[in-house]
Amino acid sequence: MAILTVKTLGDPVLRRKAETVTTVTPELLRLAEDMLETMYGENGVGLAAPQVGMSVRMFVCDPGPAEGGARTPQVFFNPVLTDLRGKDLTEEGCLSLPGIRAEVERATALRLRAMNTEGSPVEREIAGYLARIVQHETDHVNGILFVDRLGAAQRTLLSPAMKELEKKTKSGVREMAQAGTGRGRPL
Ligand code: ZN
């Protein structure tokens, strides 16, 4: 396994709509393992493939440690979310946006359709904290970042920090996400 470099705001890969996965290859399974190791290493609860420079529709997540529980790593390919319902406003951070946090409105429950590591279709009813993570990561494979979901006033407020981060990314300076605690861990 290997720790991968997390791409930060300003890297065009984060803005690309990622490619659909047709076959779960050994290379993709290795990528998933590396992404999980990277996510745990950075104390994150979710990580999408574009965040490590791979423009494929895949993400890994694990709300377990943030909830004080054991590790329960999960890998999903080609996620599609339907039946989104409920509303919750909670602060979010992102491993690709170190130093930037904001309250983001998300659905509290949803249905996730995806492909698992065996290449089989899965359908799951998801609620609570995991529903937030799944929405954040599915946004990533569509080239959407949590700051895109903020109101104009909040975006204006965060604009200087975002511009600064973009500048650092483009000049090759790597910012690390602060280690969040509990549900404040970055996604
Ligand atoms: Zn993120």
Q: What are the structural domain ranges in the chain?
A: 12-179
- Smallest Cα–Cα separation from 17: which of 62, 78, 74, 76? 78
Kindly give the confidence (pLDDT) of every residue in the chain, 187 residues in length, as a single tens digit, with 9 standing for 90 and above: 799 999 999 999 999 999 999 999 999 999 999 999 999 999 999 999 999 999 999 999 999 888 888 999 999 999 999 999 999 999 999 999 999 999 999 999 999 999 999 999 999 999 999 999 999 999 999 999 999 999 999 999 999 999 999 999 999 887 776 666 677 788 8
Centre of ligand 1 to C-alpha 83, Å, is 22
Q: Which residues surround ligand 1, an ion (CB under 5 A)?
A: 94, 187
* Catalytic-labelled residue, pool 27, 91, 103, 137: 137
Helix (H, G, I), strand (E, B) or coil at 87: coil
CATH code for 12-179? 3.90.45.10
For the purposes of burial, counting CB atoms within 10 Å of the CB of 91, is it exposed (0-12), middle (13-18) or buried (19 or more)? Answer: exposed
Active site (annotated) includes residue 33: no
pTM of the model: 0.95
Q: Give CA 5 to chain center in angstroms.
A: 14
Centre of ligand 1 to C-alpha 111, Å, is 20
Which residues fall within 8 angstroms of residue 153, CB to CB, at 6 or more apart? none
Centre of ligand 1 to C-alpha 95, Å, is 5
- Smallest Cα–Cα separation from 25: which of 60, 62, 56? 56
